[in-house]
Amino acid sequence: AVCSMGNSTSRLYSVLAKTLSSGAVSQHQDCLEQLDSAQLDPIDPKELLEECQIVLQKRPPRFQRNFVNLKKNTASNHRPIRVMQWNILAQALGEGKDNFVQCPMEALKWEERKCLILEEILAYKPDILCLQEVDHYFDTFEPLLSRLGYQCTFFPKPWSPCLDVERNNGPDGCALFFLRERFELVSSANIRLTAMKLKTNQVAIAQTLKCHETGRLFCIAVTHLKARTGWERFRSAQGCDLLQNLKNITEGAKIPLIVCGDFNAEPTEEVYREFSNSSLNLNSAYKLLSPDGQSEPPYTTWKIRPSGECRHTLDYIWYSQHALNVNSALGLLTEEQIGPNRLPSFNYPSDHLSLVCDFSFNQDPDRLL
């Protein structure tokens, strides 16, 4: 394999082009093993965005979404921490198992879809990025995001359904990325969730970070719970297990917590109530977009399968409401923007919407729960 990176844009394009074919893992495995991405030259995010836009020039422009200011009259003496949550849709599942009957196969081509995903990430510039259904971690997200300044962690599902798809790219799993210039990693835990004392196929990553600017500690976690109707009790058990792990990691809520995930659960489910009523004093950030601050968005995923139209609220950003403030949240796509064929599409790369919030620390860290 030729591993030369060249210079400037040509070097950058060679990194992007490495991931253009579905056989990229085997084709570039030698190169991936030889190169430690964090040791390579940094990438200018503007250059990467330009490369993505060249690939996407025949597609419609990215949807306009605006941040909603939620800040109360509390002054903050530090830059907000931007957190992005997104189930990006595993490539193997999108092409092989998910049966999006209104989405043309052409729209799912990895060569272009990966650029739509990168464009969305680059547009919102998260300090912390939490992803689910990542099956192109080693050949796309880790090599590129590490060179954009992120520290990267991946935890695959033990029995990923991606492996059942012909010409798959390996297992999917959860991935967590944070900017090294803003945070220091204090501790990291890869958690295989249990239900009824049995190990399950669902996982979580929980990392305790130290904010360079404030010196404050906080924990960030990402997870993806069991899917499908009929598994509500199973998800509830997984949620209880995750909460218990997070209680231990945060020393019973002494350390502020942010939990991102595709919970595969509507707000009516037991697992949602467990998180709402937990002793960790968590609130769901996207409730704050509603007029009364008490209602979740009407949808975070919207797709059409052979069984019919699926419009659900499944994705959440939970946070310690005693220790953190939500300054703003990214508005969701409207039904008109999504269009009659729903998601994914030529406009949007996943069947789930990305959620983005700006957090600040409460100015009174010793405030009681």
Backbone angles phi, psi at 338, to 5 degrees: -65, -40
pLDDT of residue 101: 84
DSSP 100: -
- Give the phi and the psi of residue 273 in degrees, each rounded to 5: -65, -35
Q: Please give the Cα distance from 342 to 236 (Å, whole number).
A: 29
Which two three-digit tokens encode residue 8? Answer: 């400037």
Q: Are 330 and 67 in contact (CB under 8 A)?
A: yes
d(CA 327, CA 315): 19
Q: How far apart are CA 317 and CA 222, in angstroms?
A: 9
Question: What is the pLDDT confidence band of residue 37, given thresholds at 50, 70 and 90?
Answer: low
**Could you tell me if 209 and 257 are in contact, meaning their C-beta atoms sit under 8 angstroms apart?**
no
Q: What is the 3-state secondary structure (H, E, C) of 4-22?
A: CCCCHHHHHHHHHHCCCCC
Q: Distance between CA 36 and CA 350 in Å, rounded?
A: 29
- Collect all residues with Cβ–Cβ distance below 8 Å to 301 and sequence separation of at least 6: 87, 310, 311, 312, 313, 314, 315, 343, 351, 352, 353
Measured CA to CA, the distance from residue 286 to residue 293 in angstroms comes to 8
**Cis peptide upstream of residue 365 (ω within 30 degrees of 0):** no
Residue 26 to residue 169: CA distance in whole angstroms: 9
Dihedral over alpha carbons 269, 204, 327, 280 (to 10 degrees): 70
State yes or no: pLDDT of 39 exceeds 90. no
Q: What is the pLDDT of residue 72?
A: 75
Residue 63 neighbours by CB under 8 Å, 6+ apart: 333, 337, 347, 348
Q: How far apart are the first and last CA of the chain?
A: 56
- pTM, two decimals, is 0.91
Provide the 10 A C-beta neighbour count for residue 195: 20
Residues 6+ apart with CB under 8 A from 46: none
**Burial readout 295-329 (b: 16 or more C-beta within 10 A, e: otherwise):** ebbebbbbbbeeeeeeeebbbbbbbbbbbbbbbbb
Token output for 186: 């204090």
Please state which of the ranges 27-36, 60-69, 324-333, 347-356 shows the lowest mean pLDDT. 27-36
Alpha-carbon span 168 to 72, nearest angstrom: 47
Query: Can you give the pLDDT at residue 307?
Result: 86
Identify the pLDDT of residue 10: 45
- pLDDT tens track for 266-306: 999 999 999 999 999 999 999 999 999 999 999 999 999 88
Residue 334 tokens read as 């409207």
Q: Are 132 and 222 in contact, with CB atoms under 8 Å apart?
A: yes
| Chain position carrying tokens 């220790």 | 323
- CA angle centred on 6, ends 4 and 12, rounded to 5°: 100
Q: Which residue type, as a one-letter code, is found at position 309?
A: E
CB atoms closer than 10 angstroms to residue 151: 18
Interhelix angle 45-55/8-17, rounded to 10 degrees, is: 60
Percent residues over pLDDT 70 in the chain: 86
What pLDDT sits at residue 124? 97
Q: Which of 15-29, 59-73, 141-155, 282-296 has the lowest mean pLDDT?
A: 15-29
Domains and CATH numbers, the chain: 79-364 (3.60.10.10)
pLDDT of res. 9: 43
